[in-house]
Structure 1
């Protein structure tokens, strides 16, 4: 089995719409606003993952709470930067603790 089934992009937009309660148009809008990133099949069909389902529900909740798409995108970018920084710090601490070199 793959490393994480939640990351496999295998679900079509129609199924995503049923799972999330969001219209296909709204899902495509979130993609246009760079909030969700489906893969495309060779025929151009959008493919989503279970992680994308969770992400779409989170986006819809934030929108319902009055947030704008640019605010959600900014929050996600900040979260990614913090995650990258945390990973660098952890690698540095491990390298120092075990006297490792790159």
Structure 2
């Protein structure tokens, strides 16, 4: 796991890094665009990748996109990535004659 994946940043720090209000960050979570972890005490914890994602989301919103459009785009990109990974695994299995 990369340091960028680790969920260690609090919402206050994320707000400072992105310029987004804590309320806006929570809104993006409600709209299923972001999935922070929670500490035992219930504190939201974000990763550096989450921070980058928030900036991207904010830019798209500024360009006039709606949250459901952003979510659809991200789901489509994820499906494409999954297909690519399956194809690559298949090619590697075929190249090395690996049978399941």
- Structure 1: 5+ residue runs without aligned partners? none
The match for 1:90 among 51, 64, 88 is 88
Secondary structure of the structure 2 residue equivalent to 1:55: helix
Q: CA deviation at 1:18?
A: 0.1
1:32 CA displacement: 0.1
Structure 1 residue 101, shift from structure 2 partner = 1.4
Q: 1:65 aligns with which of 63, 66, 86?
A: 63
TM-score, normalised on structure 1?
0.96
Compute the TM-score of the two structures, normalised by the length of structure 2: 0.98
CA deviations on 1:51-79 (whole Å, 9 max, x unpaired) are 00000000000000000000000000000
| Aligned equivalent of 2:19 | 21
**Number of aligned positions between the proteins:** 100
Structure 1 residues 4-83: aligned runs within 5 Å: 4-83=2-81
Find the residue that maps to 1:47 and give its secondary structure. strand
Deviations 1:12-62 (A, max 9, x none): 000000000000000000000000000000010000000000000000000
